[in-house]
Amino acid sequence: MTESYDDVSKIHKRYSLTLLTPSSKYHSLLFSAVVAAITGFIILTTYYGNQAELIPRLSALIIVLLITQIIDSRLIRNKEYSKALHMSLFGNLSWLAIILAGVGAAAILSKPELSTLYVTEGMLIFTSFRLGILTTTLGASMRKAWAICFIQPMAMYLVLTPQEQWIPSLTDPLVLGIGATFLAISSIWSYLTDRAGRPGVRSTHELIQAYLASRGKQNYEEVESIIESRSKPSSVITSQIRFQSNNNDFRMVLPEVHPGPYHPIGGSNITYRIFKTLNSSAMVMHSVSDHTLNLPSQTAVNSYLGTFANNSVLKKGAICTEPVTVQVNKARVIGMLFDKTAVLFLSLSPHGMEDVPSHMKKEIEQLGSNRHFERILVVDCHNAMGEEIGEVDSQDMLKAAKATLETLVTKESHPLEFGYANSDGMNLSTPDLGPGGLGVLCLKINGAKYFLGWSDSNNMENGLREHIVNHFAKNGMTLVELCTSDTHFSSVVVRTRTGYYPFGKISTPDTISEWYYTIAKQAEKKLEPTSFEILEHKAEVRVMGTAVIEDFSRALDNSLRLTKGFAIGSFLLFIGSLFL
């Protein structure tokens, strides 16, 4: 496993932690009120035996909860009410867990009476939890966090606790000792996790806060500023095959830059931006690249797009071979030869894989050089979900590529006709498809028609390609391959483990097949004799590089390692307090 893929994979796995919060602020508002009411009911009836004042105190408790949630939202970074509600929900859950544990401990240990120590301890752990959240994800300084972390827990505690017990319970040396210990643990944990990524990441908390701001408020400037400050200059190549006829002008584009890192940051929507730059008459393929070649900011994206007018024409022609397909176990390579430029489409569908590693591209290019091809353009079809390609599949893919190139050398070339159509005007609106929609290229070679499909999407559901290919076959049409752009655009916040919907996750295979078939018929009607040009341009841009990914991954790993250690220590301390 390559180090860059390993680091990206680790970071991606941390995304699931952001799914712990409810999907809506209204859910947090409702659940926090319910949890607070349950906590108050147990404290009043079980710990204090105060059923007579149950209704007025619970009513006052909910009012205090709602007011302090509003106060919190005014005091935290960006004044986000939703984050104040999420903090309130999880803090109240911690308090509920403590008092339930106290009831359970009293029963198991056969204590003669239920100690109100657990009520006060729960309130202080609630406070400690808030201290940690305020400093890590909500952007408060340690001093400010200490000033406001007591507001909600203490206000709720004073409402539930009889007035005559306020001073005795809060000045109890045991209570003060336990509270001070948990608050100290929270403060030390916050201090250490913030510095866990140094020297590569100055502040892990700032990184987390910037990420959350970009996801929740579409505020991309903070994350881009952090990433761009660590990015590096690089020369990237973009290759194109341009088809021109009397009425059509279309380009198949292979950008060396990689979509990402995530929407709305950097080049997450780069595929659509290229598509629009080329007058919505293009298929922006996934070349062999990875997240180290992410453009870090909108500024870098605009700089890159500004270079598209600076193309060099490397070759002109009007003939090509019919497609060649070679299957070696799971690996499939489809190739075409445009004069002396070979285009290879790599896929493991329906089994799937992650990005094709760069070493495979280099080996394939060497195979092509050995057989005197002028250039090799390698397309990662990215059309089925899977893990990083393994050694066996990698070798099979190289064998298939070699066999494809050897066959192309022997194939006869023919005059070419082409037609292109896309989904513009079809009003396709589905969360698993990017704004570039769908496209189909129809090539007529030696009297036969071949179709190549494209979607502006982040991968495909496994088996979708095969379903669509079969649909075309039943209608007497040859769909050679389906490719995705691997866009990282998302029209909605996706609460799945992957963080996106692969194409076919929302839309049904039958519906998608009909979409492609409709577009293919339109492309077929536009067939005209064509010539082609092989274009290339170099752009000097800033890319993320490996160091940024490695440092971010290390910072998160170290922070989580510290968190686990402190969580275990805090849990053992709490278990010990149950015996007091």
Give the pLDDT of residue 18: 66
Question: Biggest alpha carbon distance in the chain?
Answer: 97
How many angstroms separate the CA atoms of 110 and 574, rounded? 18
How many angstroms separate the CA atoms of 128 and 134, rounded? 10
Q: Helix/strand/coil (H, E, C) string of 459-484?
A: CECCCHHHHHHHHHHHCCCEEEEEEE
Residue 1 confidence class, pLDDT cut points 50, 70, 90: very low
Residue 90 confidence class, pLDDT cut points 50, 70, 90: very high
Q: Is 46 left (phi over 0), alpha (psi -120 to 50) or beta?
A: alpha
For residue 81, the Cα-to-chain-centroid distance in whole angstroms is 24
> What CA–CA distances, in Å, run from 30 to 129, 221, 230, 434?
20, 32, 42, 34
How many angstroms separate the CA atoms of 422 and 480, rounded? 17
pLDDT tens for each residue of 447-488: 999 999 999 999 999 999 999 999 999 999 999 999 999 999
Instruction: Give the DSSP per-residue string, 508-540.
Output: -HHHHHHHHHHHHHHHHHT-EE-EEEEEEEEEE
pLDDT tens for each residue of 167-183: 999 999 999 999 999 99
Tokens for 5, please give them: 């893929």
pLDDT tens for each residue of 494-510: 767 778 899 999 999 99
Give the pLDDT of residue 121: 94
For residue 283, the Cα-to-chain-centroid distance in whole angstroms is 23
Residue 262 confidence class, pLDDT cut points 50, 70, 90: confident
Give the pLDDT of residue 578: 85
The answer to whether residue 111 scores a pLDDT higher than 90 is: no
Torsion sign over Cα 410, 412, 413, 416? negative
Identity of residue 428: L
| pTM, 2 dp | 0.90
Torsion sign over Cα 522, 524, 529, 532? positive
> Which residues have CB under 8 Å from 205's CB, separation 6+?
135, 136, 137, 139, 190, 193, 194
Q: Is the peptide bond prior to 261 cis by the omega test (within 30 degrees of 0)? A: yes
Bridge partner residues of 492 (DSSP): none
Are the C-beta atoms of residues 557 and 257 closer than 8 Å to each other? no
Are the C-beta atoms of residues 484 and 455 closer than 8 Å to each other? yes
**Mean pLDDT (whole number) for 404-433:** 95
HSE toward the beta carbon, residue 325, CA cutoff 13 A = 11
Helix extents (H) in 332-416? 358-370, 391-410
How many angstroms separate the CA atoms of 468 and 465, rounded? 5
How many angstroms separate the CA atoms of 53 and 46, rounded? 13
How many angstroms separate the CA atoms of 143 and 580, rounded? 32
Average pLDDT, the chain: 93
**Mean pLDDT (whole number) for 333-353:** 96
In the chain, what percentage of residues exceed pLDDT 70? 96
> What CA–CA distances, in Å, run from 105 to 109, 111, 569, 579?
6, 8, 19, 8
The percent helix, strand, coil of the chain (3-state, each to 5) is 50, 20, 30
The b-or-e profile of 373-392 (16+ CB within 10 A means b, else e) is: bebbbbbbbbbbbbebbeee
Closest by Cα among 483, 447, 484, 240 to 341: 240
Which of helix, strand or coil describes residue 94?
helix
Are the C-beta atoms of residues 503 and 457 closer than 8 Å to each other? yes
> Which helix (H) or strand (E) segment is 440 a member of?
strand 438-445
